[in-house]
Chain A
Amino acid sequence: MSGLEWILLLSGVVSGATPILLATLGETLTEKAGFVNLSLDGTVLLSAMVAFMVAFETQNAILGFLAACLVGALVAAVVVLFSLWLGQSQVAVGFVLTLTTRDLAYFLGNPYTRLHGPQFSTFPIPFLSDIPVLGPIFFHHNWMVYAGLALIGFCWAYIYRTPMGLRLRAVGESPKASFARGDNPAKLQWVYALAGGVLVGAAGAAFSLCVKPGWGRPQGAEGTGWIALALVIFGGWHPVRAAAGAYLFSLLQVLGIYFQGWIPSVPAQVFQVAPFPLMILTLLIIAYARKTATQEAARRRLWMKSFLDFFSGTAPSALGKPYRLESF
């Protein structure tokens, strides 16, 4: 493969990763606050459909994008409403919604299948896009790709370097402590679930307005939400590592298409499975790294320690536990 082809391939990886990246960052934010939104997969589809529908009707991609963000926030709001207000299981409601929103997307999007609508056009960043190799890989895309890249840094800085981020992590680790400090845990979870929902909605828009323009059944965004959920864990609930996971997955996808000729009997979909065993492996390593025997063994072996450090991460301790005032 020549150098030019490699640059094209990597550029495809960067742009193709954008939807998954946005969804992964959104869910990381939500789960950092101790809330699980399992409705991702359907939400991505519904927001992709709404983004295209609104963009098509108004002939304005920006309006479509905004509508998608709104849909993402709305679905997240339903999960929060059922969980925090009605006291139902987050998992149950999220799961029901993931199926319902998917079917709702297919149902309402039916008249908009296989139409040509507006999409975000490429906007090379002046000067930066002229840099050899890096320019075409990173700075020759549409603005959603840039926004995704910028969001990685923003999320990291927000979560780990600002007072607001500290309060966010506090809710996820110990709502009790957060409450004692004077915060309202339920309110913070509302805020971050909605913020995460907005990003998941943006992920949908990134599909139907950029990566796989248009709408259809199947759209091609199917499964993205589940993959994003897996990548949040693979990333150990750390935005930068989760983002790295998103790019790694995108690379796998692109390579799968490139190398399909080598093993023609294996369909490209088989490669899509990769994040899921990795997710289970990460969870296993996280569990084992916590055990004292493992920690003892790792202290004596440097490679093992670095391996554990690389793969393990800590889940927010209060993840998925609905917070109730009477619980203390």
Chain B
Amino acid sequence: MIWAGPSPGRPDDQASESKSMIQRHWKAFGLSLAGVLGFTTAILVLAGAPPLEAYYHLLKGSLGSLNKTGAVLTAWIPLTLCAVGLLYTFRIGLWNIGVEGQMIMGAIFATAVLRWGVESRVPLLYLAAAFPAAALGGGLWAIGAGILKTKGEVHEIFAGLGLNFVAQGILLYLIFGPWKRPGVASMSGTEVFPTDLRLSFLPGLRFSPAGLILAVIALLLTAWMFRHSRFGLVLKAAGSNPIATLLFGERPNRYMLLAMLLAGGFAGIAGCVQVSGVYHRLIPSISSNYGYLALLVVMLSNYNVFVVPVVAFFFTCLNVGSIQLPMMLRIDSSLAGVIQGAWVLVALAAIAWHRRKVRPEKEH
């Protein structure tokens, strides 16, 4: 097995209850934020943009109005769903980079169900069925990577990455082939679904509460599972010591597949939310890179289920706030991605630095 390096996750959400732990966490959080602000300011100066104005527009563009906040929440839902799923796979020591493809598969399965529902007399039934179908699609795609890992000895990063691109290929094929709009096939996606096949918006806001409820349920369920269920415990045990887990009569491989299934399922639901609650059709960029971004969110949250929604919120604020940067300051909106990536890097460095200080005798 290659890359059997240090297990990626050191989930210590149970220990984080103690006050000093929380204090230290916030201290590290603040320090990394300061580091990131320094780096971003330097980048902005390099690009010849006024840093303070850029920060102002980021803030105003994300939280400046009710509409903008609605857009932030709309992006927060799929990002959080993907990140929650990743908590399961990180917990058992799997690097589920395939979450992007799992989200795409979920979106494809959801679209398939919704297409059947067009002109049906019970559209709500199809809308409700789209969610389990999407979870199934994402889950199957994840199980594919899982079986390649457990049976075929293919590392989950390569399997997941490969399947991401295959899913993207299938998505493009469907949009340009069998599911193209009558007459024209274009990058703008499939035909828009009728209103009764969409998740309804809150009055005055372009944002659907159903997705928000789903994301919150996913968070609470996961927090409960990790803290109180035997499943959460075995996941953690299998992640840190698979052989001991085997000796205790549990099969690590089975738990790996289960973790993958859950991660894929949540990602699939995220894809369904994108299709039924945001775009109302299937588009080539349906995943909006949220799968990859969710990996960053989970890393920056230090694999803690309670920190994930907060970090996801910060990240979506950056994403939404950066949209108006090209118009206001003539700088590219990819500034958001630069800040997010730099933030995770600084945090990784801070964590490593902290480890060196705590256990200097173990390092050279």
**A residues adjacent to B (C-beta < 8 A):** 36, 38, 78, 82, 86-93, 95-97, 99-104, 106-111, 217, 223, 226, 229-230, 233, 265-267, 269-270, 272-273, 276-277, 279-280, 283-284, 287-288, 315, 319-322, 324-326
For the complex, is B28 an interface residue (Cβ under 8 Å from A)?
A: no
Mark contacts of B294-330 with chain A using CB atoms, 8 A cut-off: 1 yes-contact digit, 0 otherwise: 0110010000000000000000000000000000001
Q: Which of B104-112, B264-272, B332-340 forms part of the interface with chain A? A: B332-340
Residue of B at shortest CB range from A269? B172
CA distance A93 to B352 in the complex (A): 12
B46 at the A/B interface (Cβ < 8 Å)? yes
Say whether A319 contacts B349, CB under 8 Å: no
- Nearest A residue to B349 by beta-carbon distance? A86
Interchain CB contact (< 8 A) of B364 among A103, A272, A324:
A324
Measured CB to CB, the nearest residue on chain A to B335 is A107
User: Would you call A273 and B165 a contact (CB within 8 A)?
Assistant: yes
Docked Cα-Cα span, A253 to B327, in Å, equals 36
Complex Cα spacing A108 to B48, Å:
10
A-B contact pairs, 9 of them (CB 8 A): A86-B352, A87-B355, A87-B363, A90-B5, A96-B344, A99-B293, A230-B161, A272-B169, A283-B152
B123 within 8 A of A: no
- Measured between alpha carbons, how far is A96 from B296 in the docked complex, in Å? 7
Given contacts A103-B335, A266-B173, 5 further A-B contacts (CB under 8 A): A273-B165, A273-B166, A273-B168, A284-B148, A320-B2
- Cβ–Cβ contact B292 & A86, under 8 A: no
**Is B43's CB within 8 Å of the partner chain A?**
yes
Q: Are B349 and A82 in contact (CB under 8 A)?
A: yes
The residue on B at minimum CB distance from A288 is B152
Chain B residue at smallest Cβ distance from A325:
B364
Contacts of B168 in A (CB 8 A): 269, 273
Partner of B158, one of A93, A266, A280: A280
- B64 in the interface (beta carbon within 8 A): no
Q: Are A97 and B43 in contact (CB under 8 A)?
A: no
Binding site for A on B (CB under 8 A): 2-6, 8, 43, 46-47, 95, 97, 148, 152-155, 157-159, 161-163, 165-166, 168-169, 172-173, 176-177, 180, 185, 292-293, 295-296, 299, 330-332, 334-338, 340-342, 344-345, 348-349, 351-353, 355-356, 362-364
A287 contacts B152, C-beta separation under 8 Å? yes
Min Cβ gap B332→A in Å is 4
Contact A87 B6 (CB under 8 A): yes
Residues in chain A near residue B345, CB distance under 8 A: 78, 82, 93, 96-97, 100
**Contact (Cβ within 8 A) B344 A280:** no
Tell me if B158 and A104 are in contact (CB < 8 A).
no
Contact yes or no, A107 B5, CB < 8 A: no
Q: Which residue of A lies closest to B178 (CB)?
A: A265
Q: How far is the CA of A87 from the CA of B360 in the complex (A)?
A: 13
Residues in B whose Cβ lies below 8 Å from that of A108: 43, 46-47
Q: How far is the CA of A103 from the CA of B336 in the complex (A)?
A: 8
By a CB distance below 8 angstroms, the chain A residues around B158 are: 230, 233, 279-280, 283
Question: Which B residues are in CB contact (< 8 Å) with A287?
Answer: 152-154
Q: Is the CB of A99 within 8 A of B292?
A: yes
Question: Would A106 and B332 be within 8 Å (CB), given that A320-B5, A322-B5 are in contact?
Answer: yes
Query: Which B residues lie within 8 Å of A217 (CB)?
Result: 332, 334
Chain A: minimal CB distance from B234 (Å): 23
Considering the complex, give the chain B residue whose CB is closest to the CB of A105.
Answer: B334
State whether A95 touches B97 (Cβ < 8 A): yes
Cβ of A78: which chain B residues have Cβ within 8 Å of it? 345
A-chain residues with CB within 8 Å of residue B351 when the two chains form the complex:
88
Of A36, A276, A321, A324, the contact of B165 (CB 8 Å cutoff): A276
B169 and A107 contacting across the interface, CB-CB below 8 Å: no
Taking a contact as CB atoms under 8 Å apart, the answer to whether B338 and A104 are in contact is yes
List B contacts of A265 (CB < 8 A). Answer: 176-177, 180, 185
